[in-house]
């Protein structure tokens, strides 16, 4: 199927993966307004918070308050990140729609990020997945740093596929592949998606890219061409990982939407409203964000504006 015939779901991760690495700690009402604006723009799956220790990630200390303040809509799914059973139990108590679990492809990074080896996180995921299913909560899992580790270097594809086999025992609603530090390239993306699809046929694949080395959008395009079901992105391109050196921002929702819209890929999300939200977010943070569309404008609208100015 060509890209022009495809529908791709964008999962907005700015309220969680975006804000968790920013130095500012936004007030709870501002976070809720951020999410409300994203929904108004057409986003229907949003990663809104993480249920982790507040001393480790103080930006997410108000997880329960955020969930309580969110608009209740039948057409919107809120996702909360959990890393262990305690986090899941906190999430369950809020009535959240879906939980996501991360398993890092390298032991060193998993130890830095979650305090345990990868095998322990896989074990925790299988326990959480079973509990979530019993509670009627959707559960997805993501293999983080699948494209490379900041501590161990290259991650062999065989390592990723072995983890796919293990996490699929939890029957996730979606399987994620994350380039947590932005080292992947398009050919690697294509190869990995094809191999994972052969290993776990039928499971929806979600990709999460960072733009650390300016390959994030190219990797997203390769993922779309390879047939992924959904892509993570962050309004304004904010975020990263507080436990990975130099893991700068997620791919901007703004810039990703422009590329997809111009490529004929249907997302159901309004780019003008995303740009408005990006500009609003900059005001809340008190500084600019990495996204380029709020700066450059939407083509051909910007060309029409220049023509009108020249004619006046």
Catalytic residue list:
241
Buried b (16+ CB within 10 A) or exposed e, 26-61: bebebbbbbbebbbebebbbbbbbbbbeeebbebbb
Q: How far is CA 111 from CA 59, 108, 118, 154, in A?
A: 21, 5, 7, 17
Taking the C-alpha atoms of residue 102 and residue 133, their distance in angstroms, rounded to an integer, is 17
Taking the C-alpha atoms of residue 196 and residue 218, their distance in angstroms, rounded to an integer, is 19
- Are 132 and 139 in contact by the 8 Å Cβ rule? The answer is yes
- HSE of 295 in the Cβ direction (CA atoms, 13 Å)? 10
Classify residue 95 as left (phi > 0), alpha (psi -120 to 50) or beta.
left
- For the record, the structure tokens of 165 come out as 């086999």
Taking the C-alpha atoms of residue 11 and residue 43, their distance in angstroms, rounded to an integer, is 7
Instruction: Write down the residue that tokens 């929806």 correspond to.
Output: 204
């Amino acid at each position: 199927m060509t890209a022009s015939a495809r529908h791709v779901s964008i999962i907005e991760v700015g309220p969680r993966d975006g804000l968790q690495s920013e130095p500012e700690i936004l007030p709870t009402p501002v976070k809720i307004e951020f999410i409300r604006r994203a929904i108004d723009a057409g986003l229907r799956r949003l990663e809104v918070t993480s249920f982790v220790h507040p001393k480790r990630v103080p930006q997410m200390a108000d997880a329960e308050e955020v969930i309580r303040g969110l608009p209740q809509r039948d057409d919107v799914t809120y996702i909360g990140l959990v890393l262990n059973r305690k986090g899941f139990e906190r999430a369950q108590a809020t009535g959240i729609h879906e939980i996501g679990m991360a398993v890092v492809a390298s032991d060193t990074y998993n130890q830095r990020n979650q305090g345990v080896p990868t095998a322990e996180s896989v074990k925790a995921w299988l326990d959480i997945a079973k509990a979530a299913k019993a509670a009627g909560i959707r559960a997805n899992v993501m293999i983080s740093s699948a494209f490379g580790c900041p501590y161990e270097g290259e991650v062999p594809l065989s390592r990723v596929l072995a983890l796919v086999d293990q996490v699929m025992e939890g029957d996730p609603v979606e399987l994620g592949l994350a380039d947590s530090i932005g080292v992947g390239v398009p050919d690697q993306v294509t190869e990995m998606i094809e191999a994972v699809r052969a290993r776990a046929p039928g499971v929806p694949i979600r990709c999460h890219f960072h733009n650390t080395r300016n390959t994030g959008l190219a990797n997203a395009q390769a993922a779309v061409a390879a047939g992924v079901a959904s892509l993570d992105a962050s309004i304004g391109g904010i975020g990263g990982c507080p436990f990975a050196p130099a893991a700068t921002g997620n791919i901007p929702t703004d810039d990703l939407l422009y590329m997809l819209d111009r490529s004929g890929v249907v997302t159901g999300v309004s780019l003008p409203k995303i740009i408005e939200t990006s500009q609003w977010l900059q005001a809340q943070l008190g500084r600019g964000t990495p996204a380029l569309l709020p700066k450059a404008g939407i083509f051909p609208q910007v060309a029409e504006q220049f023509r009108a100015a020249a004619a006046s």
